[in-house]
Chains A and B, each alone.
Chain A
Amino acid sequence: DVKVTQSSRYLVKRTGEKVFLECVQDMDHENMFWYRQDPGLGLRLIYFSYDVKMKEKGDIPEGYSVSREKKERFSLILESASTNQTSMYLCASTAARETQYFGPGTRLLVL
């Protein structure tokens, strides 16, 4: 079974803090993705990566950065958290042109 894990299920941070969200997959997938889910807006792609050290902007990259130093790990970084980044963050991985598998999500609250 594919397993995608995320470092935290719930996080509470203060405005201006630097936030790290980590995602690890155990299926040797090339592609990894970070989405955020907000009511009425569905899943919106923040960043994705096709390979180690490679990254591509998604639809809403502003305020975020990513890091992929190892194939199995994809990190999302909020350089200076803001209240409008309160959301559910979902990581996914996939082999090329196949179904995406999602982690359990991290619910982030920025106060």
Chain B
Amino acid sequence: DQQVKQNSPSLSVQEGRISILNCDYTNSMFDYFLWYKKYPAEGPTFLISISSIKDKNEDGRFTVFLNKSAKHLSLHIVPSQPGDSAVYFCAASASGNQFYFGTGTSLTVIP
């Protein structure tokens, strides 16, 4: 059973606008969440993380929001750029070392 879900397989956004990628999880023991970005034929690269003691973390154009009561996190990219076009995975872990990944959302930023 998928513990981390990304229900939108794809998303298209105009350059300069906001991209919002969503992720839901089912395990209330998860306390650390990450977003990865993946280009074709490359490994995922770490983008941004958040621990469960926070509800927001920012890094430049990227902000992750965590809503623990809803078991939901989102990644906001503002402004979106064509180079942001990639597959984005969210991942979560409990107090351990194993990470659970979502199925990914393919973002296309249209110039």
Q: What is the interface of chain B mostly: helix, strand, loop, or mixed?
A: loop
Number of A-B residue pairs at CB separation under 8 A? 55
A-chain residues with CB within 8 Å of residue B91 when the two chains form the complex: 43, 100
Compute how far the CA of A75 lies from the CA of B92 in the bound complex, rounded to whole angstroms.
25
Compute how far the CA of A48 lies from the CA of B100 in the bound complex, rounded to whole angstroms.
13
> How many residues of B are in contact with the other chain, CB < 8 A?
24
Q: Would you call B43 and A104 a contact (CB within 8 A)?
A: yes
Does A12 sit within 8 A of B, measured CB to CB?
no
Partner-A contacts on B (CB < 8 A) = 6, 9, 32, 34, 36, 41-46, 49, 89, 91, 93, 95, 97-104
Q: Would you call B34 and A99 a contact (CB within 8 A)?
A: yes
Q: What is the interface of chain A mostly: helix, strand, loop, or mixed?
A: strand
How many whole Å from B59's CB to the nearest CB in chain A?
A: 13
B-chain residues with CB within 8 Å of residue A100 when the two chains form the complex: 34, 46, 91, 99
